[in-house]
Structure 1
């Protein structure tokens, strides 16, 4: 009976690890897509924006490698490899849980820091080419203007990236947006809210993927421990 039980668990765990390996690839792809998306705005909050997707890519790579350890342990019916596999899954689970808790705790602090960085950066727009490029890129892609709105540009020339028609008007844009159009073609939303929404949307993707993988990891830990227990019990009965 124990041999039948062990055989069943072994093949279930083997199939599970194939799925687990595929999920590792899926995590890497999800992390890469988010990294590519938020990477356009890394000038403002580089570490905060890039850390979560980078962690996800690393975790996905580790999961892919660990899945093969689980497959090998299941086929070889190795108690030590199965326990090692379960421990690796537990460590990954703890890391994901820790990152999630830290992200939730410091969410408000991050948003405050983001606004401060944007306010400081906008003051340097006309003096610093890097700030100018970053703002023009953010305003064009996020369809926004200023930190909280166009009024943030008072005292400076309105950037062409604040206008809907920036690709057509180029150098005449500032005068057109404010004068002829009287703000009709001027983005009214501030970049702070737009950037915050984009980060939140990407965070939801990471959280969704993380929760899904967490359930898979718990199932893997249970199956690995069950098979390890069965292997040990059968070896002791011989």
Structure 2
């Protein structure tokens, strides 16, 4: 009786940890499946999988959702089944995968910290790629438009960087020649209610002073760099919360592994 009374609370606590670990991993399994479904839907909607138009699959941003969803779903499923069936093999796989993810995140953070002085150049290269492929990739177009609208900027260093785009270049055919995207416009609305896609028509033919009355003439690299510096605290806090969440899941799995080893 004395031994049963001594071990009873431990058994109850172990059961609570087991069910909490199951629910914890079930939540992340659902989130992983949601990310996976979003990625697959994005690829199908753009015809990347259906072959409606040629888009290199490896360069599609929606592929990141697919890979992240697959990884999170597989690890969370192992955690769910390991907690439900008290499987040492699945629990060890779960702990190993979580530790690997946490290690990669910490390594990535350290690399970013070490290469922070080169971050501006990397950011400029990424924005240049977005600028050149603006008309070819809907995801990149959406990203560029959001950045230019939110930060009230245009191009990399100035609005004239859009001359490098084959569709906006002054020698290009079509209505967009010598223009910049509508997201560069100071007032992208017609009569205040209807979006005007040609509000920046001919902006590259204008001088800087006149163009400044129609579009934002300052570039986005400096503005985006300043914004990222301002968000450094929030980014670090988010990374810390993510590592804490992973640590809680790993500790619960280790607790269950310890209980299984004790029973054996």
TM-score normalized with structure 1 length: 0.62
1:148 aligns with 2:166: no
Rounded to whole Å, the distance in 2 between the matches of 1:117 and 1:91 is 27
Query: Alpha carbons of 1:9 and 1:194: their partners in 2 closer, same or farther (altered >3 Å)?
Result: same
CA contact under 8 A between 1:6 and 1:231: conserved in structure 2? no
Q: Which runs of 5+ in 1 are unaligned?
A: 37-46
After TM superposition, give the deviation of residue 234 of structure 1 in Å. 1.5
CA contact (8 A) 2:179 2:200 kept: yes
CA deviation after TM superposition for structure 1 residue 68, in Å:
1.4
Question: Which residue of structure 2 lines up, in the alignment, with residue 99 of structure 1?
Answer: 108
How big is the shift at 1:210? Answer: 4.2
Q: Tell whether 2:91 aligns with 1:82.
A: yes
Pick from 157, 164, 179 the counterpart of residue 160 of structure 1: 179
What is the distance in 2 between the residues matched to 1:109 and 1:199?
14
| Deviations, residues 132-167 of structure 1 (Å, cap 9, x unaligned) | 969xx698662534543357799x969421654684
Q: Retained in 1: the 8 A contact 2:21–2:249?
A: yes
Query: Is 1:215 matched with 2:244?
Result: yes
Structure 2 residue 25 is the aligned partner of structure 1 residue 17: yes
Larger mean CA deviation between 219-228 and 104-113 belongs to 104-113
Whole-Å separation in 1 of the counterparts to 2:229 and 2:70: 24
Where in structure 2 are the equivalents of 1:39-50 lying within 5 Å? none
* 1:121-140 → structure 2 map (5 Å cutoff): none
Superposition TM-score, scaled by structure 2 size: 0.56
Greater helix content? 1
* Cα distance, 1:104–1:151 mapped onto 2, change above 3 Å: same
CA drift at 1:3:
3.6
Residue of 183, 186, 192 corresponding to 2:215: 186
Q: Contact conserved, 1:23 with 1:213, CA < 8 A, in 2?
A: no
1:197/1:57 CA distance change after superposition, 3 Å? farther
Which of 78, 82, 88 aligns to 1:69? It is 78
Alpha carbons of structure 1 residues 23 and 94: separation in structure 2 relative to 1, 3 Å: farther
Separation in 1, partners of 2:33, 2:75: 12
Question: Equivalents in 2 of 1:132, 1:79: separation in Å?
Answer: 50
SS at match of 1:160: coil
**Which runs of 5 or more residues in structure 2 are unaligned?**
1-6, 44-57, 164-168, 171-176, 189-195
What is the CA-CA distance between 1:216 and the residue it aligns to? 1.5
Distance 2:158 2:95 in 1: 52
Q: Secondary structure at the match of 2:112?
A: helix
Question: Relative to structure 1, is the Cα distance of residues 113 and 77 closer, same or farther in structure 2, using a 3 angstrom cutoff?
Answer: closer
Q: Which structure is higher in RCO with an 8 Å CA cutoff and minimum separation 6?
A: 1
